[in-house]
Amino acid sequence: MKIALGCDHAAYELKEAIKKKLTAEGHEVLDMGCDSTESVDYPKYGHAVGRAVAAGDAERGIAVCGSGIGISIACNKVPGVRAALCTSVEMAEMCRRHNNANVVCMGARMISQELAFDIIDKWMVTEFEGGKHERRINELEDINF
């Protein structure tokens, strides 16, 4: 699977660990940055992950920042992106089953690397249920401001 991966400075080390894990598992990783622990602004990187997924350049995206909150907001600014902030394996499962989340977001200062890997593992294998959930996702897509 081709996965867009991005982070801010607070999550650089976690992003690098995720990239190593995904590559070892045979996935193609599009590294959207950042490239160090030097302070950067998360919107640029969240938006880059979202754009890659929405454009079809990546099948899914993973975005990480200090809390996961800011970068998830940035990802969700891109039409067609359904980014979910996950702090547990259960949330990762539900965001795929019910929301067909195409981007998962996490906070490097909030969860351990081990939990981040567990979240990614569950998120990668969980299928979307469709049915009534498809109708609800379509309602989200139809919202225009």
CA 92 to centroid of chain Cα atoms = 10
Residue with tokens 């909150």: 69
Question: In this structure, are residues 7 and 71 in contact, taking their beta carbons and an 8 Å threshold?
Answer: yes
Query: How far apart (Å, rounded) are the C-alpha atoms in residues 81 and 101?
Result: 8
Residues with active-site annotation: 65, 98
Query: How far apart (Å, rounded) are the C-alpha atoms in residues 90 and 94?
Result: 6
Those residues with Cβ within 8 angstroms of residue 16's Cβ, 6 or more apart along the chain or in another chain: none
How, if at all, do strands 2-7 and 28-31 pair?
A: parallel
